Structures are given as C-alpha cells and as structure tokens.
Amino acid sequence: MDVKAMEASMIKDNPVLLPLNKEKTIYDGFITVQERDFRVRITLPPDRKITGGRLHCCWQLKHLLRGYEQTVKQRLQQSDNLVTFILELKTILEVGLKSFPEHQSIPPPQYYSQLISEMETLGWSKLLFIDTAFQTLQLNAEDSSGRQHLLTVKLKPKHPAEAPDCSADLPLPLLINWTPQTTLDQLYGQFLLVLESLTRFWDVLDEIDRNTWILEPEKPCRSDTMRRIAIGNNVSIKVEVDPRHPEMLPDCCLLGAEHVVTPLRNKLNTNMHLWNPESDVLHNLQDVLEIEFPSPASHEKSSFST
C-alpha cells in the first residue's frame, strides 16, 4: 500500500485518529470497536515503519488488553503498515470484549474515587476481598453472638446510581433498600440488622448442633433450616426450623422402622400442647417426644446407621 492510499484508508477507517505532526510519526485520537471509543497514541520512528512503533493506551484499553499484551507486541512488529496494525488491534479488542463481557461496561474514573471514599468510611478492616476490576467486594461481619458472616457485593458500573447485587449465606432472601444516595456503610448497616434478626434462629440451630448427632446436612451452612437428628439406630427426626419464628414447634418428620416411629409420632401428636415457646427448641423436642437425644458427649456417631 502506497503512502497516499494508506493515509486515505486511515482517514476512512479511523476518522478521529489523526497525525499530530507534519512528519506523521505521531498519531493520537480514538479507535472505535463495537460502538465504543478508545483513546490511543501511536508513535512511529522517522522512517514511519510500524515495526519500530510504540502503542500508548488509555486505562480502559489497557484493562481490556490484559492477557493480550504479547499478541499486540507481535502484531506491532509484524504488521506491514499502520492501517494493518490498527485493523488487527481492533480484531484483538473484539475478541477481548466477547471473551470478557463484563469488561463491556468499564466504570468511569469517578467510580473508583467514590468506591475508595466509601471504603474509608466503612473501614478497610471489613474488606476481605476485592477483584481486579474493583467491582466484586467481600465484606466480613460479626453478629452479636460472635458468628462470622460474609457479605458479597457486586457493584454496577454506574454505582451508586444503580443498586448492587448482594448475597450472603442466609436462610431468607437478602433484601436491601437502595437509593442513589445509599453508601456501602449504610448497606453494611442494613446487613447487620438482618443478621441481628436471625440471631435467635442460629442460636437454636447451634444448640442442636452442639448437643445432638446431626445426620444431615453433613456440614451445615448458615442458610440451612433443616436438621436430621439421630434418635437411635436407624431412627431419626427431621426438623425444619422457621427462621422468622425459631422458637415455635418446627415441622417434624420421623424416619425409621414403622414399629419404632409410630409410638414417637403418637407422642408428638399427643404432647404438642406442651410446647413452650419460652423454652429452647431442643428441650421442647425432648419433652414432646419423651426421649433424650444421644449426644456427642455420650455416644459415637458410628453407633447410628444413617
């Protein structure tokens, strides 16, 4: 491609990438990929050969080209001319955008200053993790009983105008009230209130876990509301505790041989009126069923068939 043809092609394909000097060794402006503009500066040696050129990127472009640096360097050294190189650079960017769709909405610079300001107010000690895009945060929280909890916050590129996606290991949906004026500190405060509302529920399950043999789930999570408790060999009870009303009689299902389960079921139905919401769930279950649950202090788990 001769010089004039190359210049004509440059103007046609990249109308806002312009030479800054009469020697045309410095080009500055924007290239457009998938309807997005990226600022670039390309400097060429006096002979104007692209093989000796250098590419300077805006921070957004650097973010998108992460992992493609060697490919870009190789294309810079092997392309025939500037037009060809820019075409290949655009192709690499298109691949990058398709491979990492989350990069299609890179936040503006003020997003980061806003995030840092909010984290300083909240306290950096509460931050356990933040991803390289500065969009996914994991915050540590402790409830009034000393249990540790993890809040995952996925910020949107237009934060705080858009509500973030929040998740945690809870037995109920995490509902956060959000306005464009809401801060991370206020969001965290709402999360602490949710934890406090569930404290009694977790106290109930922690007591059951400490004092009985739990057959299911093997490794309970804070979101689990069910426990299958061993009563004897091949006999167990599955209880479903209501997170909103943990002191009330839970849904119960007795499991095992019918000749063993029937008397227990009869006692459960007959003694249901004895349930005392002021007492703890474990003692209530034992009173209603007229049994004592085998405990880790007195029994080996191997003595129960699951």
pLDDT tens, 114-156? 999 999 999 999 999 998 888 999 999 999 999 999 999 999 8
3-state secondary structure 184-229: HHHHHHHHHHHHHHCHHHHHHHHHHHHHCCEEECCCCCCCCCEEEE
156 and 187 assigned to the same domain: yes
For residue 153, how far is the Cα from the chain centroid? 6
Query: How many domains would you assign to the chain?
Result: 3
In a domain, 129, yes or no: yes
Which of 27-31, 62-66, 250-254 is predicted with the least confidence, judged by mean pLDDT?
A: 62-66
Is the pLDDT reported for residue 1 higher than 60? Answer: no
Could you tell me the residue range of the domain that residue 132 belongs to? 109-203
80 and 14 assigned to the same domain: yes
Which helix H or strand E contains 74, and what residues bound it?
Answer: helix 69-78
243 and 294 assigned to the same domain: yes
Mean pLDDT of all residues belonging to the chain = 89
In a domain, 54, yes or no: yes
Is the pLDDT reported for residue 296 higher than 70? Answer: yes
d(CA 277, CA 19): 80
Encoded tokens for 94: 């298109």
d(CA 48, CA 25): 6
**pLDDT, tens digit, 9 for 90 and up, residues 192-210:** 999 999 999 999 999 999 9
Encoded tokens for 300: 């080996």
In a domain, 139, yes or no: yes
**Residue holding tokens 């929280």?**
141
pLDDT at residue 198 in the model: 97
95 and 152 assigned to the same domain: no
268 and 222 assigned to the same domain: yes
Which of 84-98, 248-262, 291-305 is predicted with the least confidence, judged by mean pLDDT?
A: 291-305
Encoded tokens for 106: 């890179």
Domain boundary among 79, 99, 119: 99
Are 76 and 55 spatial neighbours (Cβ–Cβ below 8 Å)?
A: yes
The reported pTM is 0.66
57 and 17 assigned to the same domain: yes
76 and 130 assigned to the same domain: no
Q: For residue 306, what are the contacts with CB-CB under 8 A and spacing of at least 6?
A: 215
In a domain, 104, yes or no: no
In a domain, 70, yes or no: yes
In a domain, 65, yes or no: yes
**Residue holding tokens 């356990």?**
128
Encoded tokens for 293: 């649950």
Domain boundary among 148, 181, 203: 203
235 and 265 assigned to the same domain: yes
251 and 169 assigned to the same domain: no
Q: Which of 235, 233, 237, 245 is nearest to 208 (CA)?
A: 237
Q: Is the dihedral of CA 71, 76, 80, 83 positive or negative?
A: positive
d(CA 303, CA 230): 10
148 and 216 assigned to the same domain: no
In a domain, 230, yes or no: yes
Domain boundary among 99, 121, 155: 99
State mean pLDDT over 35-43. 86
In a domain, 37, yes or no: yes
d(CA 26, CA 21): 6
State mean pLDDT over 291-304. 75
Is the pLDDT reported for residue 96 higher than 80? Answer: no
